[in-house]
A = this chain, B = another copy of it.
């Protein structure tokens, strides 16, 4: 590595982290990785990544990406006793790709800032397969200059990397997409049940809808489950409610009325209370079919 090159570290090589770090390797970057369970770094090491023995070792990289499962993990690997900020030589930038709430993000950012480290909140949309295939989407927030410094690497990882603002906006943007998802699914079950009660099968209706410009990768991916009424959870109704809790709290704080989102929120609550709590949120279809007095085919 040339003396003036930027060195990259990757903390957290679970399924998502490994897929993302793999994209950097594929793009020709030399990276150093660390994971709590060291065995999980092996596949990346086999592809050329260096492996750090401790987080402190990783901390000497210029930019360290973090991809961990839970807010507690983030706080620990960054602010904890043996965390990135405790090392003698600290990174210039920490890029957190985990999905955490705005308050947690702000608190970690403050700690980093205190230690002279820049922080980018950069959650990702996409599952490991999509990420590996280059289809991920990253929304990042933090100082614009920091974003510009990291952008080349984000664009190696993902198809889209946007800068959402100077603070915790990326967290809100993620909530917004989940609010949008909840509204889409209710919209979908309303029109599907209407077409169905009019005599059109769910399959025919969804095939048509997905053929039009209104179809999305999501509606196409889930059409089969909706046709089969397969509510095996990909994301439970209760978890969707959690995102609505957070998203509508943010809307309240910002004084943004959300007429449709709040109507959907109440419908989600109804579903949670009438047996769909742990089912996939597509089960909103069953609630709609019930009030439509529709005997689903």
A interface residues (Cβ-Cβ under 8 A, vs B):
125-126, 130, 137, 139, 141, 158-160, 162-167, 169, 172-173, 176-177, 179-181, 183-184, 186-188, 190-195, 197-200, 204-205, 207-219, 221, 245, 247, 250-252, 254-267, 269-270, 272-274, 288, 290-294
Contacts and interface: CB of A to CB of B under 8 A. Distances in A.
A263 B247 CA distance: 16
7 A-B pairs with the lowest CB-CB distances in the bound complex, closest first? A160-B211, A137-B211, A183-B187, A273-B293, A270-B291, A213-B217, A176-B191
A68 to B, nearest CB: 21
A133 to B, nearest CB: 12
A200 B173 contact: yes
B199 A166 contact: yes
Given A139-B208, A176-B194, A209-B180, A272 B259 contact: no
B252 A177 contact: no
B254 A269 contact: no
A13 to B, nearest CB: 24
Contact of A213 (B176, B218, B290): B218
Contacts of A247: 194
A231 B295 CA distance: 26
Given A197-B256, A258-B190, A125 B212 contact: yes
B208 A218 contact: no
Contact of A215 (B200, B216, B294): B216
Contacts of A176: 191-192, 194-195, 205, 209
B190 A179 contact: yes
Contacts of A180: 187-188, 191, 209, 214
Contact of A259 (B162, B191, B211, B267): B267
Contacts of A190: 179, 183, 256, 258-261
Contact of A164 (B177, B191, B204, B252): B204
A194 B256 contact: yes
A137 B173 CA distance: 33
B177 A214 contact: yes
A225 to B, nearest CB: 14
A255 B274 contact: no
Given A162-B208, A166-B199, A172-B200, A257 B250 contact: no
A184 B214 contact: yes
A256 B285 CA distance: 13
A227 to B, nearest CB: 13
Contacts of A164: 195, 199-200, 204-205, 208
A165 B212 contact: no
A158 B191 CA distance: 23
A267 B267 CA distance: 12
Given A176-B194, A262-B262, 9 more contacts: A141-B200, A164-B199, A164-B204, A165-B198, A169-B200, A194-B251, A194-B256, A257-B269, A257-B273
